């Protein structure tokens, strides 16, 4: 598997590539412009020399071949390179340098000077120009030129010096580009490393964050490019810390609360093994089973509470008949109500429809009713009533005071030693389940009675609908809430 390319190397390659492309294109355009300017200047110089030669020819004393002499070169044309010239008037050859007549001179067009690349018999590169000029009125040596309408002059010079100058300029230009690219390639990694220092510091700060320091956060005082990343990462750290705290709280609660029933179960089994009581095996196993059920209820309640607080549980709103749900829960608690001789009054009989999650609402109402049935004095009265946006439960609570009511929302809070099968999570679980449905659970102590009120802001309806789907669900959450309410 090919390892991914580092950001530093990637930026370096992109930067060097961009510079090479930009400088290369600019140098190519500049070189083409310079070559054109050099060629244009060379053509201008060639034309000036040709015009000077035509002017010399038109001067009377040297306007003939005998005056110049065959092969004689004017002083201003003499240089280290190759020079050819040819003069014709009409169809008559007048004067030329050696071998000039064998060259293919450019054809005149509209009387304007014409430039062309040429070559001689030796293969030398030449640049030639042809131009026309009026003939001289003077004659000499029996060959007059006055009868010709115009004369044509061709001049060709060696291109070696121009090519050499252009090559030198190319070397300078591309050499400078190459040096610049090498300098950039050497400096770019250092500059990029310095520019990416905030990433290095960020990586060092991330290494310091672990399970032993979940509260640590990254410093948001950084560059504008990294600030959004740091903010999102801090949000992830906050969620991870919340999850870790919930996990620790769950583990701590389970370890703390299961210690007593496990010790009780272990003690009972060990005593029975050492000192057999010859008691009924079914009764002994029933006691062990009750302890196991208590532990199951504790773990189930803690798991559901943790899932609700973590936002894992999703609210599934349905139409629920509050009266039918309340009667169902009271029927489920009927055995305990009968055993404790409680007088339960349902103050409202009308069909009131709430929009809520059936399982979570059952957790809320079921835990409140279960606590009231378990802790209300024997033979006391429980009053349940509901209206458009509230559900109320009243029960006698002579053993509670105002401070106790404030503590009832905490986990594992139980007043007194005889809690029965209750885990101390009922009110905390009901509060969390109500909150996730945008409901509010309030507890008040008035005249020795505990008032538990569940309020909802969602619109309610008095129309009778089929609420079986809201009270008879068999989902895992429904099974959990049923287990908690037993």
| Model pLDDT, residue 374 | 83
Two tokens, residue 455: 């309020």
pLDDT per residue rounded down to tens, the chain (486 residues): 566 777 888 888 888 888 889 988 998 999 999 999 999 999 999 999 888 888 887 775 544 444 444 445 555 565 567 888 888 887 788 888 888 878 888 887 777 899 999 988 888 889 999 998 887 654 444 444 445 578 888 999 988 888 899 899 999 988 998 898 889 888 888 888 888 888 888 888 888 887 777 778 888 777 777 888 888 888 888 888 777 777 776 676 667 667 767 888 888 888 888 888 777 888 888 888 888 887 776 677 667 667 776 777 677 888 888 888 999 989 988 888 999 999 998 877 677 888 888 878 888 888 888 888 888 889 899 999 988 888 999 998 887 777 777 767 666 555 654 444 444 566 777 887 788 788 888 888 888 888 899 998 877 776 544 433 344 444 445 444 554 444
Query: Does residue 376 contact residue 397 with C-beta atoms inside 8 Å?
Result: yes
- Cβ contacts of residue 236 below 8 Å, gap of 6+? none
Run of H or E including 449: strand 449-456
**Which residue do the tokens 């196993």 mark?**
285
| Rounded CA separation 467/376 (Å) | 30
Q: At what angle do helices 426-436 and 281-310 cross, to 10 degrees?
A: 30
Q: How far is CA 425 from the centre of its chain?
A: 42
| Rounded CA separation 293/486 (Å) | 10
| Model pLDDT, residue 420 | 47
Secondary-structure percent of the chain, ordered helix, strand, coil, rounded to 5: 55, 15, 30
| Rounded CA separation 73/394 (Å) | 132
| Model pLDDT, residue 67 | 40
The dihedral sign for the CA sequence 46, 49, 55, 59: negative
| Model pLDDT, residue 43 | 92
The dihedral sign for the CA sequence 217, 218, 219, 221: negative
Burial class (CB in 10 A: 0-12, 13-18, 19+), 368: buried
Q: How far is CA 18 from the centre of its chain?
A: 24
Query: Does residue 322 contact residue 391 with C-beta atoms inside 8 Å?
Result: yes
The per-type count for the chain, helices as H runs and strands as E runs, is 13, 14
| Model pLDDT, residue 207 | 82
Name the 3-class secondary structure at 183: helix
| Rounded CA separation 245/36 (Å) | 77
| Model pLDDT, residue 479 | 46
Cα–Cα distances (Å) from 168 to 26, 162, 175, 421, in that order, read 18, 10, 10, 100
Q: What is the DSSP letter of 72?
A: -
| Model pLDDT, residue 407 | 65
| Model pLDDT, residue 146 | 46
| Global model pTM greater than 0.75 | no
Other residues' Cβ atoms within 10 Å of the Cβ of residue 1: 3
Query: Does residue 310 contact residue 304 with C-beta atoms inside 8 Å?
Result: no
Give the residue ranges of DSSP H helices in 112-226: 160-195, 197-207
**Which residue do the tokens 């190519």 mark?**
28
Phi, psi (5° rounding) for residue 104?
A: -95, 95
| Rounded CA separation 162/99 (Å) | 23
| Model pLDDT, residue 375 | 84
- Cβ contacts of residue 367 below 8 Å, gap of 6+? 426, 427, 429, 430, 484, 485
| Model pLDDT, residue 383 | 92
């Amino acid at each position: 598997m090919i390892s991914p390319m580092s950001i530093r190397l990637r930026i370096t390659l992109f930067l060097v590539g961009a510079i090479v492309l930009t400088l290369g294109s600019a140098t190519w355009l500049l070189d083409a412009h310079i070559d054109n300017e050099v060629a244009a200047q060379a053509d201008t110089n060639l034309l000036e020399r040709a015009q000077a030669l035509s002017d010399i020819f038109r001067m009377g004393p040297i306007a003939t071949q005998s005056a110049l002499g065959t092969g004689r070169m004017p002083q201003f044309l003499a240089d280290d390179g190759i020079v050819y010239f040819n003069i014709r008037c009409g169809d008559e050859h007048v004067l030329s340098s050696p071998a000039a007549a064998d060259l293919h001179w450019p054809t005149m067009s509209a009387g304007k000077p014409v430039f062309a690349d040429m070559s001689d018999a030796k293969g030398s590169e030449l640049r030639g120009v042809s131009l026309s000029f009026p003939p001289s009125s003077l004659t000499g040596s029996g060959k007059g030129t006055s009868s010709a309408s115009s004369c044509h002059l061709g001049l060709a010079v060696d291109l070696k010096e121009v090519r050499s100058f252009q090559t030198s300029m190319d070397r300078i230009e591309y050499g400078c580009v190459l040096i610049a690219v090498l300098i950039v390639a050497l400096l770019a990694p250092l500059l990029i490393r310095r520019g990416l220092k905030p990433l290095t510091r960020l990586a060092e700060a991330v290494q310091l964050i672990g399970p032993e320091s979940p509260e640590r956060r990254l410093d948001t005082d950084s560059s504008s490019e990294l600030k959004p990343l740091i903010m999102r990462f801090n949000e992830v750290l906050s969620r991870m810390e919340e999850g870790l705290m919930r996990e620790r709280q769950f583990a701590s609660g389970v370890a703390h609360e299961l210690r007593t029933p496990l010790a009780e179960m272990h003690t009972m089994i060990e005593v029975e093994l050492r000192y057999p009581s010859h008691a009924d095996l079914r009764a002994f196993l029933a006691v062990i089973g009750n302890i196991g059920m208590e532990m199951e209820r504790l773990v189930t309640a803690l798991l559901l509470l943790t899932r609700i607080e973590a936002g894992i549980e999703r609210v599934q709103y349905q139409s629920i008949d509050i009266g039918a749900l309340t009667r169902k829960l009271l029927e489920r608690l009927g055995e305990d109500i009968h055993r404790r001789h409680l007088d339960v009054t349902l103050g409202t009989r009308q069909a009131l429809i709430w929009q809520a999650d059936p399982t979570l609402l059952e957790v809320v109402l079921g835990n409140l009713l279960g606590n009231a049935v378990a802790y209300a004095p024997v033979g006391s009265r429980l009053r349940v009533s509901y209206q458009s946006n509230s559900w109320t439960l009243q029960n006698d609570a002579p053993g509670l005071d105002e401070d106790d009511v404030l503590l009832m929302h905490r986990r594992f809070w139980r007043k007194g030693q005889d809690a029965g099968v209750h885990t101390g999570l009922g009110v905390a679980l009901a509060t969390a389940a109500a909150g996730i449905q945008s409901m509010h659970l309030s507890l008040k102590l008035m005249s020795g009675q505990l008032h538990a009120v569940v309020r909802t802001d969602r619109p309610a309806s008095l129309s009778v609908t089929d609420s079986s789907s809201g009270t008879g669900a068999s989902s895992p959450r429904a099974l959990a809430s049923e287990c908690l309410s037993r």
